[in-house]
Amino acid sequence: MAIGKVKKIQIIGHRSEQNEIAGFLQEAGAVQLVKPVISEEEYPEISAGEEEEIGKKISVLEQAINYLEKIGEKKGLLAGLIKSRILLDAGQLRGILGADHEKTQSDVRALQEELSGLDQREKHLVGELKLVLPWLKLNAALADLAAGSGSAEVIPGMLPLKNMDALRACLEKEFGERYSLENVSVEKDAAYVLLVLLKEDYQRFKPAETGFIRIELPRVPGTPSQAAEDTMKELAEISKQKLAAREGATALLKEKANLMALYDHLVNQKNKEGAKKEFFNFPHAFVLEGWIRAADLGKLQAQLRDKFSEIEITEVEPGKDEQPPVALENPEGLKPFEMLTRMYGMPGSKDMDPTPLITPFFVLYFGLCITDAAYGVVIMLLAYFFIRRSKTKPSSLLYILFWGGLLTIFGGAITGSWFGDAIDKFRIFSVFGGLKKFMIFDPMVNPIIFLGLALVLGFTQICFGLCVKIYKLARNKMVIDAICDPFCLLMMMMGIPMLVASFMKILPPIYLSVSAAMLIFGVLTTFFYVFVNTKETFFIRFFLSAYSIYSAVTGCFLGDTLSFSRLVALGMATSGIALAVNVIAQFAAGIPVVGIVLAIIVLVGGHAFNIVLQAFGAFVHSMRLQYVEFFTKFYDSGGREFKPFAKEYKYTALSEPDKIVKSMQERVGYFQKT
């Protein structure tokens, strides 16, 4: 629950070593750089020319990589969800960086231009072919149709088939016998016609009245059938050229990994050049400031002084209004759950890290939302598989799913759900019948027990959140606020159920007076606390004081507690869908010949779909309960995350990083940059 101590440091060195020091700090990945505020005359900044030049190279590389990925093998669903990176050691990386990749990039650009040109030509030809196909019965050359004759206007067009008679009537009324109309073809409900008018009559033709649309045919030699044949031949030739170009891209695809490694290297070079803007430069020296974990300061000082002769690194006091960044420090098992805290917002530098507080509740709610032990086993095994398969540090999400799957096994075992009721419905699963002895209740038969469990857990977490707020206020020497706000609310929260239980004789008679005293103390103290601290008229103060009690009872006690009933809804939805899948599979199994195969498909597909759907819902709703019902009781975000200047890798990862302090690297998640 502790937040790591972060100190501010100042580094002073000679400008001749500026580039090397920037590179060392990037490799160490332990210092978050900030620009010093110095009142004396500012000297010119480092030129951004090199950074811009590297940026142009990165842009070209990125285009090449994206294009090679586009024409490469299609990734499967799991490959798309779990991003993998190329694992390189320092020697392999140096070999790649030492090679000349300009020709590869040039070849990729040439391939891209060639295929783009072929695609455009193919698209144009397909469009022409669509225009020509309805006119295949015509024996006239397309070029002659477009040119017309000396005294006549040739008008190819189309109109709704139902309007043909109307068009003829209109033409006869307007031109008598001075026209020619030939119905060339009919496609669906459209008629393609060839209309010939005298040029002096053409101006009086009003096609819109009958839905007639003039079509501009391509000006190509030959009849429509000849033009279509030529177009088909050219399209076939383009297909061959595209196939040959893609086959030629096979060699380029082999270079994709090298381009990716070069891309990551150039991005880090660009970041290093950009970091130099944080240096305050004098004619012969520079000053740099930054934040570092207190535990890493001694190591960094020793390494800098050992490597650079003209350098000084000292600890300095932060400015009066300067807030240090927040570095979360948790045991290894809790680190993945820091992701949940970061998604909501970092705590202040003097606040507490809520990660250890939400972790047990989150995984427990995740398990209760799914409530199927077999689903938990599947989620655990999949998460473990991808954790072991990952060549670099796995995603925090995989660890969260692993622990969530473990608690899902517990939730499913106590409710007796193993792929729904598969143990009872299918003989093949009957060997696992002994697992049913762990069942405590069936949520589909006794949902009230499940609801009671969910409400008790929710009530407990809400009270726990109020206790944390009492501790926070007391720690900050705000004892009166702690007593009059969260403590009074806690008294009401606990007094109401104790009073009800005493009336129902569930608790001994002594608890009646105790709970009544708790409730009266909470109500009166809350009323007078709001009344005294509100600067309004008497009636408004009275109303706000009464409303604060109403809000505490209906909002915190009823609203927030009842919100945990969503655990029941999601848990029963999982069971309901699993039961439906089993019923459908049982029906399918009765079909002759193919029944067993269909049943297996239904079981695998149905339960796989249910696992994905319910895991997503369990994650979202468990997270929502933490953010809305728990964090609102004590947690105030607003801090900024400690983000040290370090190397970032999008496509690759180093297996043997050289010149890097390994302990620092593990602290800042060197292999987990995304």
List, in order of start, the domains of the chain with CATH numbers: 3-86+256-316 (no CATH), 140-222 (3.30.70.2750)
Q: Which is higher by pLDDT, 216 or 629?
A: 629
Determine what percent of the chain is predicted with pLDDT higher than 70.
92
Give pLDDT, residue 149.
64
Both tokens of 243, joined, read 């196939």
Section 420-441 average pLDDT: 84
Q: What is the rounded CA–CA span in Å between residue 427 and residue 589?
A: 12
> Which alpha helices (DSSP H) does 416-537 contain, by range?
422-425, 447-475, 479-482, 488-503, 510-533
Phi, psi of 193 (to 5 degrees): -125, 160
Contacts of residue 282, defined as CB under 8 A and 6 or more positions apart, other chains included, come to: 15, 43
Phi-psi region of 47 (alpha: psi -120 to 50; beta: other; left: phi over 0): beta
Section 605-632 average pLDDT: 93
pLDDT digits (tens, 9 = 90+) for 522-571: 888 888 888 777 777 778 888 888 888 888 888 888 888 899 999 999 99
Q: What is the rounded CA–CA span in Å between residue 561 and residue 554?
A: 10
Give pLDDT, residue 79.
52
Nearest alpha carbon to residue 185 among 164, 206, 211: 164
The separation between the first and the last C-alpha atoms of the chain, rounded to the nearest angstrom, is: 25
Q: Is 189 strand, coil or helix?
A: coil
396-415 and 355-370 helices, crossing angle to 10°:
50
Give pLDDT, residue 446.
86
Instruction: Write the DSSP symbol of residue 334.
Output: T
Q: Is 354 strand, coil or helix?
A: coil
Out of 10-14, 357-361, 401-405, 657-661, least confident range: 657-661
Contacts of residue 175, defined as CB under 8 A and 6 or more positions apart, other chains included, come to: 197, 198, 201, 204
Phi, psi of 23 (to 5 degrees): -65, -40
pLDDT digits (tens, 9 = 90+) for 124-176: 889 888 888 888 888 878 777 766 666 788 888 888 888 888 888 888 888 88
pLDDT greater than 90 at residue 45: no
pLDDT greater than 80 at residue 211: yes
pLDDT greater than 80 at residue 391: no
pLDDT greater than 60 at residue 400: yes
Contacts of residue 592, defined as CB under 8 A and 6 or more positions apart, other chains included, come to: none
Adjacent-strand bridge partners of 418: 421
What does the angle CA 399 – CA 403 – CA 407 come to, to the nearest 5 degrees? 165
Q: Which is higher by pLDDT, 570 or 92?
A: 570
Section 452-465 average pLDDT: 93
pLDDT greater than 90 at residue 340: yes
From the number of C-beta atoms within 10 Å of its C-beta (0-12, 13-18, 19+), residue 416 rates as: buried
Q: What is the rounded CA–CA span in Å between residue 52 and residue 134?
A: 55
The rounded Cα 633 to chain-centroid distance in angstroms is 28
Helix, strand and coil content of the chain, in percent to the nearest 5, comes to 65, 10, 25
Q: What is the rounded CA–CA span in Å between residue 271 and residue 263?
A: 12
pLDDT greater than 70 at residue 336: yes
Phi-psi region of 669 (alpha: psi -120 to 50; beta: other; left: phi over 0): left
Q: What is the rounded CA–CA span in Å between residue 204 and residue 153?
A: 13
Which band of pLDDT confidence, cut at 50, 70 and 90, is reported for residue 659?
Answer: very low
Determine what percent of the chain is predicted with pLDDT higher than 90.
22
Out of 41-50, 319-328, 587-596, least confident range: 41-50
Give pLDDT, residue 49.
64
Phi, psi of 43 (to 5 degrees): -100, 160
Out of 166-180, 199-213, 326-340, least confident range: 199-213
Q: What is the rounded CA–CA span in Å between residue 253 and residue 108?
A: 9
Q: What is the rounded CA–CA span in Å between residue 345 and residue 275?
A: 26
Nearest alpha carbon to residue 93 among 674, 653, 671: 653
Give pLDDT, residue 82.
57
Give pLDDT, residue 667.
39
Q: Is 95 strand, coil or helix?
A: helix
| Kind plus residue range of the DSSP H or E element containing 193 | strand 190-198
Which band of pLDDT confidence, cut at 50, 70 and 90, is reported for residue 608?
Answer: very high
Q: Which is higher by pLDDT, 268 or 534?
A: 268
Give pLDDT, residue 42.
45
pLDDT greater than 70 at residue 43: no
pLDDT greater than 90 at residue 481: no
Give pLDDT, residue 148.
61
Q: Is 242 strand, coil or helix?
A: helix
pLDDT greater than 50 at residue 653: yes
Q: Is 195 strand, coil or helix?
A: strand
Nearest alpha carbon to residue 419 among 599, 276, 669: 599
Q: Which is higher by pLDDT, 38 or 515?
A: 515
pLDDT greater than 80 at residue 203: no
pLDDT digits (tens, 9 = 90+) for 76-86: 545 544 566 77
Average pLDDT, the chain: 83
Q: What is the rounded CA–CA span in Å between residue 674 and residue 394?
A: 11
Contacts of residue 564, defined as CB under 8 A and 6 or more positions apart, other chains included, come to: 454, 455, 457, 458, 459, 461, 625, 629
